């Protein structure tokens, strides 16, 4: 009772009222929840926020109480109620009819909050689809994007909304176009019905329409392969944004867009770095069929822009052994000043595999680099190389006990990635369960858990570690033992 009084009486300091709200959020009594809902109409922003957070914390049981406040006279309270229901998500399904009514609320913020809540409820609010389609015609700022996102969250059940969404694919506002194209992708309509219309839009005289068409094609992935030739015809578009969007669309189609490799390779010399980045990423998605681009991709490893260097590095990695001639240059990228490029270089070396195995000693040395991101990238590469990097196992094990958590975790991931190659070292790894550091013990147990049946020889060491005084260690050890048991049944 005292917390309810403190919350609802305005004369008390807002800090004390926030504490009261927090305490009521832990209550299992409906009376306490009603007090929190009453606080949604407070004139004090901090109190309203604290009450809302407390109701969200309670979750599904407060849905009937919060739903009642969707019709309160104060718009801020109505919007707050809708936002709480959005946070509760799927469990707020009983509020669907009232939320549908709020789509026609006179206040924009309330309409937006109601649409968001329906989207968070998802397929459970499927009866809202026709009402959300109608709400797409609401031109108030922010509404179409929120509504499109909500429809996308409904998934394939919102298929009837696709025509209305397509009508907004060429909208002048970026936010709306992006929300619409993502929604179409989540709804997953039949590509044969949609892609032909998008192909026609590629030839529109309006730059924004061409961009929107390419962005929408991205949502269909390999199913959009009939668009490859039309997309290729626009790789030389005079507008850089169009060229970038076209390259991205071709990349989204993947290996089926291999016929575009020669044209994409030429576009690696585009004067705009954004276009070069999208082209490199497209070649990466196309994979080994991008081998004819290796020479130019290797040049792009020294591009002035890290985004382009990263894209080129990823592409060479996806091309795999056919990009072996670039191994030296990729090794140099391990020391790139940009961490994302370093990581990409480690992955690329691992994917090139045996062709890059002669550089294993150099990668082992990089494990001790003073810059952690370089050491982590080297560990990643060694893990992907598998049996070609078996000599690195003792060095990776040494890093498990280091002071840098990132490097230690990267070494653990590498050992797991090497899988069968590590089998003979399981008992040696298990010895680390006796390490003084709980973090090392947990990391070790995690490795053994992920190695599954290969960790069977470590069962006695794991069983002994169950007596640890540290609860986190015991949980990790038990997870490892369970994994071994399941995999050896």
Residue with tokens 């008390």: 12
User: Which domain, by its residues, includes 199?
Assistant: 190-333
Task: Give the CATH number of the domain where residue 301 resides.
Answer: 1.25.10.10
155-160 LR contacts (CB < 8 Å, sep 24+)? 155/122, 155/123, 155/186, 155/187, 155/188, 156/187, 156/188, 157/123, 157/126, 157/129, 158/126, 158/129, 158/132, 158/183, 158/187, 159/187, 159/189, 160/129, 160/130, 160/133
- Residue 208 CA to residue 179 CA, distance in Å, equals 15
Domain membership flag for residue 25:
no
Q: In the numeric block, which tokens belong to residue 296?
A: 């130019």
Bigger pLDDT: 2 or 139? 139
Q: Give the pLDDT confidence of 69-96 residue by residue, as tens digits.
A: 999 999 999 999 999 999 999 999 999 9
Residue 238: predicted pLDDT: 94
- Beta-carbon contacts of 42 under 8 Å, excluding residues fewer than 6 positions away, are 10, 48, 51
Tell me if 238 is assigned to some domain. yes
Section 275-282 average pLDDT: 98
Residues in CB range of 9: below 8 A, 6 or more apart = none
Mean pLDDT of 187-205: 88
- Average pLDDT, integer, range 235-256: 96
- 132 falls within a domain: no
Predicted pLDDT at 148: 95
Which residues 6+ apart lie within 8 Å of 412 measured at CB? 400, 443, 446, 447
Instruction: Give the per-residue pLDDT at 262.
Output: 97
3-state class (DSSP) for residue 175: helix
* pLDDT of res. 420: 65
Short-list 371, 311, 368, 315, CA closest to 339: 371
pLDDT (0 to 100) of residue 6: 61
336 and 303 Cβ atoms separated by less than 8 Å? no
Rounded mean pLDDT, 16-39 = 81
Q: Is the pLDDT of residue 52 over 90?
A: no
In a domain, 263, yes or no: yes
At 385 the pLDDT is 84
* 309, part of any domain: yes
pLDDT for 167 equals 87
Spatial distance between the Cα atoms of 92 and 298, rounded to a whole number of angstroms? 53
Q: What is the pLDDT of residue 389?
A: 85
Is a pLDDT exceeding 80 seen at residue 472?
Answer: yes
Higher confidence at residue 276 or residue 175?
276
**E runs forming strands in 180-318:** none
Least confident of 2-6, 292-296, 376-380: 2-6
pLDDT score for 7: 63
| pLDDT value, residue 9 | 67
**Averaged over 149-157, what is the pLDDT?**
94
pTM of the model: 0.70
Please report whether residue 325 resides in a domain.
Answer: yes
pLDDT at 20 over 80: no
Taking 70 as the threshold, does the pLDDT of residue 456 lie above it? Answer: yes
How far is Cα 138 from Cα 136, in angstroms, rounded to an integer?
A: 5
Kindly tell me the number of DSSP H helices and DSSP E strands found in the chain. Answer: 30, 0
Three-state secondary-structure class, residue 414: helix
User: What count of other Cβ atoms lies within 10 Å of the Cβ of residue 226?
Assistant: 16
Average pLDDT (451-472) is: 92
Count the domains in the chain: 1
Q: What is the mean pLDDT of residues 110-139?
A: 95
Burial of 437 (0-12, 13-18, 19+ CB in 10 A): middle
Q: Kindly report the length of the chain.
A: 489
Residues in contact with 416: Cβ distance below 8 Å, sequence separation at least 6, in sequence order: 383, 422, 447, 450, 451
Instruction: Please report, rounded to a whole number, the percentage of residues in the chain having pLDDT higher than 90.
Output: 64
What the block records as the tokens of 19 is 């504490």
Residue 136: pLDDT band (50, 70, 90) is very high
Q: What is the mean pLDDT of the chain?
A: 91
Q: Is residue 136 part of a domain?
A: no
For a pLDDT cut of 70, what percent of the chain falls above it?
97
Q: Please, is 54 exposed, middle or buried when counting C-beta atoms within 10 Å of its C-beta (0-12, 13-18, 19+)?
A: buried
Query: Sign of the CA dihedral 389, 393, 398, 401?
Result: positive
Q: Which segment of 3-7, 341-345, 366-370 scores lowest on mean pLDDT?
A: 3-7
In a domain, 272, yes or no: yes
The most confident of the ranges 205-219, 307-321, 382-396 is 307-321
């Amino acid at each position: 009772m005292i917390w309810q009084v403190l919350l609802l009486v305005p004369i008390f300091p807002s800090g004390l009222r926030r504490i009261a709200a927090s305490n009521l959020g832990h209550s299992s009594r409906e009376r306490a929840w009603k007090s929190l809902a009453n606080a949604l109409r407070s004139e004090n922003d901090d109190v309203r926020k604290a009450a809302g957070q407390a109701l969200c914390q309670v979750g599904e049981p407060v849905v009937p109480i919060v739903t009642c406040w969707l019709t309160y006279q104060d718009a801020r309270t109505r919007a707050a109620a809708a936002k709480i229901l959005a946070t509760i998500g799927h469990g707020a399904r009983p509020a669907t009819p009232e939320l549908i009514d709020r789509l026609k609320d006179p206040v924009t913020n309330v309409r937006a909050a109601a649409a968001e809540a329906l989207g968070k409820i998802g397929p459970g609010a499927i009866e809202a689809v026709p009402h959300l389609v109608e709400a797409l015609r609401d031109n108030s700022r922010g509404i179409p994007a929120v509504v499109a996102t909500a429809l996308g969250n409904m998934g394939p059940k919102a298929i009837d909304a696709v025509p209305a969404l397509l009508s907004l694919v060429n909208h002048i506002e970026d936010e709306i176009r992006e929300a619409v194209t993502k929604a179409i992708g989540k709804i997953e309509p039949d590509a044969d019905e949609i892609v032909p219309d998008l192909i026609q839009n590629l030839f529109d005289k309006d730059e924004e329409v061409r961009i929107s068409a390419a962005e929408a094609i991205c949502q269909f992935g390999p199913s959009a392969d009939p668009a490859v030739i039309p997309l290729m015809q626009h790789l030389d578009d005079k507008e850089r944004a169009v060229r970038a969007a076209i390259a991205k669309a071709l990349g989204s189609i993947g290996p089926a867009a291999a016929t575009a490799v020669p044209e994409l390779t030429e576009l690696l010399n585009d004067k705009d770095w954004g276009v070069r980045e999208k082209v490199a990423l497209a070649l990466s998605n196309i994979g080994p069929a991008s081998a004819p681009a290796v020479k130019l991709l290797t040049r792009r490893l020294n591009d002035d822009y890290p985004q382009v260097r990263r894209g080129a590095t990823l592409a060479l990695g996806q091309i795999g052994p056919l990009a072996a001639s670039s191994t030296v240059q990729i090794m140099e990228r391990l020391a790139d000043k940009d961490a994302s490029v370093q990581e990409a270089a480690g992955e690329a070396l691992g994917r090139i595999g045996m062709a890059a195995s002669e550089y294993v000693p150099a990668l082992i040395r990089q494990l001790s680099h003073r810059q952690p991101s370089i050491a982590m990238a080297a560990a990643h590469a060694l893990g992907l190389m598998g049996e070609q990097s078996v000599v690195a196992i003792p060095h990776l094990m040494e890093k498990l006990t280091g002071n840098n958590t990132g490097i230690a975790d990267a070494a653990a991931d590498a050992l797991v990635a090497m899988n069968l190659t590590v089998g003979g070292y399981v008992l040696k790894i298990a010895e680390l369960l006796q390490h003084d550091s709980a973090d090392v013990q947990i990391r070790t147990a995690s490795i053994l858990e992920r190695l599954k049946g290969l960790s069977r020889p470590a069962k006695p060491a794991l069983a002994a570690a169950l007596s640890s005084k540290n609860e986190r260690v015991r949980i990790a050890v038990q997870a490892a033992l369970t994994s071994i048991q399941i995999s050896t049944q």
